[in-house]
Each structure stands twice: as structure tokens, then as C-alpha cells.
Structure 1
Amino acid sequence: MYYESISKAMLENCMKVIVRRTKQSRNLSVGMYVNHGSKDENVTNNGISHFIEHMAFSHENMNSSAKKMVGNLLDSGALYEAYTGKEMTRCCITSQKSYKSDIIKTLSEIVKLQDIAEERINHERAIILQEAETYFASAKVKTELAERALWGDRSLGLFVIGNQDNISRFSKNEIESRFKQFYSPSNTLIVIQGDVDPDETFNEIANQFDFWKSETESHQSPLLEVSPSVMGIGNSNRVNLTATFVGPSFRSRKRYAMALLSDILGEGLKSRLFVELREKRELVYSIYSYALSYGLGGYMAIDLNCRKDSLEESFKVIMDIINDIQQNGVTSEELERARASRITSTLQIPNDAIRHLNTTGRYALYNKDFFVDTEVFEFMNVTDEDIREVSKEMCDQSNMALSAVGTDSESLLTLL
């Protein structure tokens, strides 16, 4: 018999702690998740969350005590990772379970960000500006460009890397005051995954983080404004087009139907889009679809790469395939194949400690618990009619944004 369990605690300083006890695990994974990312920014401070990650969670920029502790863990074989996204900033350490106390104490030292040296800020500023140049010249820009076309220049539409002009001017005071306001216990969650005793672990974390207090400050809730638009950059013989449809948020059960619709359309060698546009018609080099849900909103995207002279025909075929699903639904074979693939992927999550940790952390930030069997149950309960209905709700041109690398916005407008 297989079962999962998690234990939760709320500390006196309002920091949440989750322990997922995995008795078969010989390593320990610990993640600190702060409910703050580019969704909480605006055009005047876009990029500050990512800048703070570099200052607070980069080994070289930590205070001397935290730097020494992280260094000792790295010397002992630990894995360390920090990341900023649209909705969160996270810091994760994986090590042998005998280092549990060292990891907890290290995280408690890392959050003591104060009196940052100006030279470190300027040093990191130069690195982040180089990162931004690399970012905007890479394929990474595709996803965020699609989200900008869908949601505009606020909240989830803002680029995580930030505005280069903002990066160039962020001051010591801005960074420290922002950290104090948002990177607080009440906005933070710690997840520990491994063979550890929950109560003992809760007490240890409470003792180490006792100094950290939450201040009573109001945080303005991020606003999501759905404003599908057309956005093209560059000029090339080849175009990378993304058609994005507004969909359900993470909190909606309809996201499971959206995920299966996405897989039927463009996941794998037997998907409708791949078979029709690449194998039968030879219109595209690559084509796939994906579904993504945030706490504030979600979407399904279809991404293709083709010659510019094939773009119009490719787009028409995509819309015809979507229209067919809206009119006639999907086959039982398509549904079962997509369902089986999603369930297989879900069942793999506990086999990957870092993925399991981050999935637990992400769900917890939405005040949800991640259990494999719950996810399997949700996918098993999606019907062909659910998929047809969600395709009707989502997939029309009034609900669609277009973004592209390789052609301009005016050319994209001719597709509509």
C-alpha cells in the first residue's frame, strides 16, 4: 500500500513550515519559498525581485556567517540553488540528512540581509545586465514574450529579468527596504522533505528563526489584467510564433481539462498538430503546445517554428484543428493517451527529490497540498465533454494573443 503524508506548522512569527516525511529517502531537501516575484512589481521597479535574489541568495553576496555556512555545506557535497519566478523566490539546499541542523541554521542566516556593501551591488548589477543581454538574445524570451502579449506590462506580463534601465539604477536603499517589506516570515514557507521527525524539525526551525519577526505592513495585491494583443520582434526568414489562449488559473479544476487539451493538440509524435503540420504537410520544423496555470491566471500556448512564407497556412491549419475539436470533440483514443501520459509524469514526481520539493512548495503557496493520488484522480475524472467545453471557452480569437520572434506585429495582424 502506497500513501503520502505531510505535517504542517505555523510558527509564532507567522512563518509556515511543511514536513513531507519520506522514510525511504537517504538525502534531505529543504526549500525556502517567498511569495514574491515579478507579479508583485510594476514598470518602475520591474526586475527588483530578481536583483534581490542575487543579493540575498547568491553565495558571494551573503553576510559572512551565511557565506561560511553555505560554503561548508557545498564542501560536504550539498546542492544549492536559488531562483526567481513570476510568483515566488526560492532557495533550496539538498544534502545528506545528517546535515539537517546545518541547513536550517544556514537558511536562518541567509535571511539576515542588511547593510549591503555598495561594491557588491555594483558588481552584481554588471552581472545581471549581462544576464539580461543574454536572456533577450536567447530562446528563453519566447515564453515571457507570449505572456507579455497576453497580460500586458503589469503583474504576470512583466519579464522576471526586469527592465534594463531599472537594473541600472536600483539603489541600496530600494533593495534593502523591499527585502524588509516582502521577504518576511508571514510571506515565507519552508518545506523539508526526507526521513525526519516532524515535531523535532518544527521545534528546531522555530528556535533558529525566532529572531525573525513579521512587521504589520500592507502589501498591495497584484492585479492581473487580461489584454490579448499582437507582439512581434525581429525580421528573419524563419518565424517562431506563439498563439496563446487565456485559460483557468491554478485554483480552477478546469486546468486539468486544459492540460489534456494541450497534450492532445501538441504533445508528442501522435498529437494532432505534429501529425498534420509537420508529418503530413511539412509546413513546420517544430510544433508543440503547453498549458500553464499561475495563482492569478492561466493559459494554453501553441508554439511553432516555420518559414515565413508558410506562416499564414500553418496558422490557418492550427485554427481549423481547434475548430474541429470545438465542433466534434476528441476521440477516446486521444483522451486516454493524453491521460496516461499525464499520469505517468505525475507518478514520476516522487522519484525526483528536487521536483517533488518544488511541487510541494508551489502548491503550498497556493494554500493547496500536493498529493500524487489527488492529481491522478483529477486527471481520471476529465471527460471528453470537459475538454470540448474548455476548448470552446478558451480558444477563440478574442481570447488569443499572438507573439513572434522573426516577424513584426503588423505582419502578425494579417493572420487574424
Structure 2
Amino acid sequence: MVHPLNRGYRDQAAPGVEHTPGRLLSHDNAANGVHRTVLPGGLRIVTEHVPGVQSASVGLWVGVGSRDEHPDHAGAAHFLEHLLFKSTPTRTAQSIAEEIDAVGGDFNAFTAREHTCYFAHVLDNDLELAIDLVTDVVLRGQCHASDVEVERSVVLEELAMRDDDPEDLLGDAFLASVFSDHRLGRPVIGSAESVEMMTRRQLHGFHARRYRPEHMVLSVAGNIAHNEVVELAYPYFARNLDHNAVPAPRRSGTLTLKRRPSVTVLDRDNEQTHISLGVRSFGRHDSRRWALSVLNTALGGGMSSRLFQEVREKRGLAYSVYSNVDTFSDIGAFSIYAGCQDEHLGEVVDVVEKVLQDVAENGITDAECRRAQGNLRGQLVLGLEDVPSRMHRIGRSELSYGNHFTVSDTIARINAVTGDEVRAVAHELLQRPMGAAVVGPFADTADLPASVRRLCRIT
């Protein structure tokens, strides 16, 4: 299908396009490659051919997220993500839905703290339609005042749904506790107050200022050819180009926060109490992140992990308990989650505290280190067995790092982590000031069990 937006361009060459095949990446097959092209205006195109499939996954990544918002319009990136699907100069929301449904495809988007992604997954024969839809919505989505009011109601419903889900609510509350008043601590979705106050002018301005080709990456994976993707994508970005623009530099640096982590209590009458507690950790450019991944997996990444064994298997105190790492460009957060009966919260946290103290002082065993490395290797490879996952991998890599590690390179980095490196990371992180969020029948921090107040140093 050639959409009217493309007429007159379909057979046009891409003047000045730098066809620069990137480093050939493969996983047991030299024909699997990631290629990279930079268009005039700064758009980066990265593709990976995946043999043996009959689909294509297209993602247009924008290096803009909730941390780029002014406090007065918190949630703008997420609100805009909703709004752009409502209409373009040549499409309505209904026609967008009908076109993707007619080919059995999927068209969606998500907003994070440092980026936004609009993506479609279709049969390989419908690659042109997918690129057409994604670029039309992202580049030409309109911000009509009437659509703003409709989507305002939808986002407010999404906020209400978040508030009804204790784990979702807890996740936002935990990051707010860890990052205090920094933008990383604000919910991606914003607040009911900020969403209600958002104006069409603010949203349109956010779109016009932030959604520039130099801040974008087009990633495509599946049964595709790189040059075809470049040819299909170029016409959408060929108008009103700033030929002096170059890709925006990656986010980097080190974030230092003055306020220590805090404890947030959300009084809810749930069937369980939910708790997340943790510390500030490393950004994604810190070489210690590999050791942290191994530590995270050994502590709470599977059924053999310390926390799962000690909290659930040996004592039956919780059904769900795990650890997690949130990683941003300049900082991160290491956290532990548990959901349990209200009366078990104190004992759960007491067990968690003992596990953390032991690992901080003694590290993990060599057997735990090997198991964690094997877990990470398996999860990495298994996670790349579907086309959308490969599209997400190359898109995030280009946007976040500006380069692409082979799967073999990544596995080699995981394997290179030593027990001493894990012990050093554990010793440093697990003795840092700890923040926490609790969703349960507690009015304030004074109502929390003694183990929670002790671990988080609440006086």
C-alpha cells in the first residue's frame, strides 16, 4: 500500500543518505546483521534481518520521556502518546485502527522516563504499511482541542486503574521515595491534577519542540532488508530538514541527589500489604552494572534465589518476592518487592534484612554466581526469540548507547563477572541509605513494623 502521503516520493532516491552498514552482529549465523544509516536531519535507522520469520516489527523511538517535562506539565509525554493516535491530516483514530486490524497487526506505544516508543508488528508483506502508520502518527499526529478533552478522560481512567493496582501504585511510590523530588521520581503518567490542567497548547508545543528527527531512532527487525527500510522511511523525513542537524548525543553523566531516600506509606485496605525497599544504584554507563545484574539475579531473580528460598520456600511468608534493577542514564535503583499478609510484614522484612546483611558482608557463593550467570545468559537468548524483542533491543541500544553489542559480546561480559566484583558491589550498595514504599493498612511510618523502621533508619 502506498499512502497518499508517499505519492510522488516512492521512486525518489534518498539524496545525501549515508548508507553505513554497522558492525555485523550475529548469533550463530553470520547472515543476521544489524545495519545503521543516518539520514540527513539526524534520524538514525537500525535494522536486523531475522531469517525464518514472516513478520516485521517497526519501532520509532523518541529520546524524550517524563524526566524531560516541566513540573507544570508532568505527564505530557504520556498524554501526547495517547493524543497522537487520534488523528493525522489523512487519518482518523478509527481509520488507523481499521488499517492495522485489516492486516492482523498490532500498533501501540509506551512512554518511559527517558524515552517513548511507537511500534507496529505486522506480516513482512505489510512492512510499508507499518512504517507509514508509525511515521504518520509520530510526525503528523494532530493535537486537536476536542481530542485533548477525550484523551484527558482516558488518561484519568488510566490513573484510576493504576491506583486500583497495588503493585503499579507501589512502583511509582518507591521511585518517588528513592529519587525524592527529582523528575525521575515522578510517575510517568503524571498526576490527576497535572493531567486535568494540561492544555492543548502545552501538548502541541511539547510535540513540536521535542519530536525532532535528531532525537529519533527507527528500528526494524524481521524478514526485512535494510536498504528497503531506508527507502521507505526517507520520504517521511525529507521535508523541512535541517541538514546541519546530527543525532542528539546520548544521555550520560552522574546524578547526585542531595536528599536521602525516604519512606512512603499509602494507606489501603488490600488483601495483602505490598512493600518495595531499596537503594540508589548505578546508571547504565557504569561498568559495575554487569556485577549488579549478577547480584540482582542471585538475590531475587529466580526460584533458587536467596530471597525466594528464605522468604517463600523455607518460611511460606509470601507468594511473590523478588528483586529488581531500574537503570537510567546517570543513576539507578536496586529494589526488593514482597507481597504478604499484613501480620507477616514485620517478619518478611526481618528475613530480608538478614539476607542483605549477609550478602553485604560476605557476598554470594561461587555456586550462586555461576547460577546467576547461567540464568542471565538463558534469559538473554530466550528473550530474543521473537521479532518485537529484537526490534526493542536494537532500538534501545542505539538510543541509549549509540552502539550495538553482539549477543556473544554480552554473554562474554556476563561470564567475565567475578565473585569479588559482585561482593564489592553488594558491600557498597547494600549499606547505602534505604528508601521504601508500603501499600497497606498503615496510617503513617509510625505504624510500620519495627523491622521496616530499623532497616530504613526511621527514627
TM surpasses 0.5: yes
Which amino acid letter does the alignment assign opposite residue 65 of structure 1? R
Change (3 A) 1:274 1:210: same
- Find out whether 1:116 has 2:151 as its counterpart: no
Which amino acid letter does the alignment assign opposite residue 104 of structure 1? I
Q: Which moved more, 1:381-390 or 1:70-79?
A: 70-79
- Find out whether 1:129 has 2:156 as its counterpart: yes
2:280 aligns to what SS in structure 1?
A: strand
Shift of 1:127: 1.1
Moved >6 Å (runs of 4+): none
Change (3 A) 1:286 1:23: closer
1:189 aligns to what SS in structure 2?
A: strand
Which amino acid letter does the alignment assign opposite residue 166 of structure 1? S
Asked if structure 2 preserves the Cα contact closer than 8 Å seen for 1:74 and 1:80, the reply is: no
Structure 1 unmatched ranges of 5 or more:
none
Task: State the Cα deviation string for residues 188-243 of structure 1 (Å, max 9, x = none).
Answer: 11001123222232233222321254598x99x89955441111111558421111
Q: What does residue 383 of structure 2 align with? A: 349
Q: What does residue 129 of structure 2 align with? A: 102
1:192 aligns to what SS in structure 2?
A: strand
Which of 409, 420, 436 matches 1:385?
Answer: 420
Distance 2:405 2:110 in 1: 21
Asked if structure 1 preserves the Cα contact closer than 8 Å seen for 2:50 and 2:387, the reply is: no
2:56 aligns to what SS in structure 1?
A: strand
- Find out whether 1:151 has 2:179 as its counterpart: yes
Task: State the Cα deviation string for residues 15-74 of structure 1 (Å, max 9, x = none).
Answer: 111111223331111100001111112322111111100111x2x444433754663233
Distance 2:292 2:126 in 1: 41
Normalised to the residue count of structure 2, the TM-score between the two structures is: 0.83
Task: State the Cα deviation string for residues 89-147 of structure 1 (Å, max 9, x = none).
Answer: 11111111122222223333223446532221111111111111111221212222111
Structure 2 unmatched ranges of 5 or more:
1-27
Shift of 1:269: 2.3
Distance 1:130 1:141 in 2: 14
Distance 1:213 1:292 in 2: 36
2:98 aligns to what SS in structure 1?
A: helix
Q: What does residue 7 of structure 1 align with? A: 35
How many pairs were matched up?
412
Task: State the Cα deviation string for residues 257-282 of structure 1 (Å, max 9, x = none).
Answer: 11211121122222211222223233
Normalised to the residue count of structure 1, the TM-score between the two structures is: 0.91
Q: What does residue 410 of structure 1 align with? A: 446
- Find out whether 1:247 has 2:247 as its counterpart: no
Distance 2:266 2:438 in 1: 6
Change (3 A) 1:112 1:31: closer
Change (3 A) 1:155 1:369: farther
| Counterpart mapping for 1:261-410 below 5 A | 261-366=295-400, 367-398=402-433, 400-406=434-440, 407=442, 408-410=444-446
Change (3 A) 1:127 1:276: same
Distance 2:82 2:163 in 1: 19
2:383 aligns to what SS in structure 1?
A: helix
Asked if structure 2 preserves the Cα contact closer than 8 Å seen for 1:184 and 1:213, the reply is: no
- Find out whether 1:209 has 2:237 as its counterpart: yes
Which amino acid letter does the alignment assign opposite residue 154 of structure 2? I
Change (3 A) 1:294 1:152: same
